[in-house]
Chain A
Amino acid sequence: MSEFNLSQALETNRSFVDKVIAESGQDIRQCYQCAKCSGGCPGTFAMDYLPNQIMRMLMLGMKEEVLKSQTIWVCMACNTCTTRCIRDIDVARVMDTLRQEAVKHGYTEKGRLVLIFNDVFLGTVRSYGRLFEAGLLMMNNMRTGNLMKDMQFGLPMMLKGKAKPFPHRIKGRKEIRKIFEETRRREGK
């Protein structure tokens, strides 16, 4: 790691830490660094920083490092950390906020696949009101360029009557569209 000026980083990024605290509703300054969150986290083998390290880095104002980390995209939102935190911090919720902040600040490279998946998933919900799984699989593969991904599951799913070729459209689609448009507008996206 290159040289790092801690006090300077703290100063310039203080507003970022405050923002994460406000957005997540979690006071990360309460963290004791007991590392219980990391001890139970099932994703650490694929992470670059442990969850408690992310918390510490946040407190130190290491905005870029946190937002560029692999960790926030590996986190599966399983809530083990939240359940076990001795300081009652919803760590999983902080991870949600960090993913959203990473998108806002343009750090999307490591999260590319997750972001495409979420976008396609929500795209089907926005159009039909419900998830359209077959469409999700196809569109996801097209956008990631991995055309054959999970195709071996397609036929067996079909044969078991588990894959529907057409989406179910709910009646309240207009209301759903409004929910999507309004939440996006309020976020200023």
Chain B
Amino acid sequence: MAKYAFYPGCSLETGGIEYGMSSHAVAEALGIEFLEVPDWNCCGASSAHMTDHLLSLALPARVLALAETLPVNEMVAPCAACHQRFAAVEYELQNEDLRRKVNSLLERPYTGKVRLRSYLDVFANPATLEEIRKKVKRSLKGLKVACYYGCLFVKPPKLVNFVDDPENPQAMDNIMRVLGAEPLPWPYKTECCGASLGMTREDACTKLCNDILKIAKDSGADCIVAACPLCQQNLDMRQITVEKKYGTQYRMPIPFFTQLIGLALGLDPKVLGFKKLFVDPVMVLRKVGAA
């Protein structure tokens, strides 16, 4: 049984609560064990690395050091922004001087014993894909999905150390294929949705969201599948603002990939948090016979 340290990150308990719900339900169904990192803190996200380099390393390093107290070899962070911060620690703290500097700020030193694993790869690796294939009870046949990776899960490749194409990633597409859905080729898989400008330059953020929603719609997508709670919330909740500003009507559901896995495994949409989505996913559920 695969076992990982699990770092929820702040948004899995708030804005991205359905990501957490579906993650746990799906893991249980697949026999994957997630052990929550004890007393974890916020990774500092982009606010930390925009402010102070050392701070941006020390905050996630404390988390990785705590993960080392668990009986695991690997840690996952479902939030792409968090994932990237941990990847930065792994990459940069190979430098002995920097590691010593960061460790002098921590109560428990970071040793690098627990390695970061991409959350997408937890499900997209061949063994788990096979496991999912065996357990599909409700095929997502007929569902056209635009897989949206956002900017940080696969970029920059040197840092995130995840074997996938940073311009045209396939991990989520492969998962969707196994579920029976049809992942569309579309050009905005890793375009930035501007979530980090949501509070400071709403105009710019709204434009970037509109671009993504429009291209997905034009590509014939029934929904955009998300893998990051920040992008998901941005594209889901902000759709009201986008539609008002651009006079459009996308009504595009933005489920998490874990919600769609759960659906295919035959789990109850309620357990998977489908009711938490802002744009009603009923069309998606109906199409696969789950509503």
Using a CB–CB distance below 8 Å, which chain A residues touch chain B?
A: 23, 42-43, 45-46, 73-74, 76-80, 82-83, 90, 92, 96, 99-100, 113-114, 117-118, 121-122, 125, 129-131, 133, 140, 149-150, 152-153, 156-157, 160-164, 168, 170-172, 175-176, 178-180, 182-184, 186-187
Q: Which residue of A lies closest to B38 (CB)?
A: A171
Complex Cα gap A179–B44 (Å): 12
Instruction: For the complex, count residues of B whose C-beta is within 8 A of A.
Output: 56
Looking at the assembled complex, report how far the CB atom of B151 sits from the nearest CB atom of chain A, in whole angstroms: 4
User: If A74-B204, A78-B151, A162-B17 touch, does A96 touch B49 (CB 8 Å cutoff)?
Assistant: yes
Q: Which residue of B lies closest to A186 (CB)?
A: B54
Verify B54–A96 contact, CB threshold 8 A.
no
Q: Which residues of A are found within 8 Å of B159, using beta-carbon distances?
A: 79
User: If A42-B192, A80-B192 touch, does A168 touch B13 (CB 8 Å cutoff)?
Assistant: yes
Partner of A176, one of B41, B157, B237, B276: B41
Partner of A183, one of B54, B155, B196, B200: B54
Complex Cα gap A181–B106 (Å): 12
Verify A131–B155 contact, CB threshold 8 A.
no
Which residues between 228 and 243 of chain B lie within 8 Å of chain A, taking CB atoms?
A: 237, 240
Verify A74–B59 contact, CB threshold 8 A.
no
Q: Which residues of B are found within 8 Å of A131, using beta-carbon distances?
A: 10-11, 42, 45
Verify B107–A43 contact, CB threshold 8 A.
no
Q: Which residues of B are found within 8 Å of A179, using beta-carbon distances?
A: 55, 58-59, 62, 105-106
Q: Which residues of A are found within 8 Å of B208, using beta-carbon distances?
A: 42
Looking at the assembled complex, report how far the CB atom of A130 sits from the nearest CB atom of chain B, in whole angstroms: 5
Using a CB–CB distance below 8 Å, which chain B residues touch chain A?
A: 10-11, 13-15, 17, 39-42, 44-55, 58-59, 62, 84, 105-107, 151-152, 155-157, 159, 166-167, 190-192, 194, 196-201, 203-204, 207-208, 237, 240, 275-276, 278
User: If A172-B107, A183-B58 touch, does A99 touch B276 (CB 8 Å cutoff)?
Assistant: no
Complex Cα gap A145–B164 (Å): 44
Verify B50–A99 contact, CB threshold 8 A.
yes
User: If A83-B155, A117-B200 touch, does A180 touch B41 (CB 8 Å cutoff)?
Assistant: no
Q: Which residues of A are found within 8 Å of B203, using beta-carbon distances?
A: 46
Looking at the assembled complex, report how far the CB atom of A95 sits from the nearest CB atom of chain B, in whole angstroms: 9
Partner of B13, one of A73, A118, A121, A164: A164
Question: Contacts A42-B191, A172-B107 given; 20 further ones with Cβ under 8 A?
Answer: A42-B208, A45-B204, A46-B203, A77-B196, A79-B84, A79-B155, A80-B151, A92-B156, A113-B199, A122-B44, A122-B51, A122-B55, A125-B41, A133-B11, A162-B15, A164-B13, A175-B62, A175-B106, A183-B105, A187-B54
Complex Cα gap A77–B105 (Å): 26
Verify B54–A78 contact, CB threshold 8 A.
no
User: If A78-B155, A183-B55 touch, does A118 touch B50 (CB 8 Å cutoff)?
Assistant: yes
Q: Which residues of B are found within 8 Å of A152, using beta-carbon distances?
A: 240
Verify A76–B276 contact, CB threshold 8 A.
no
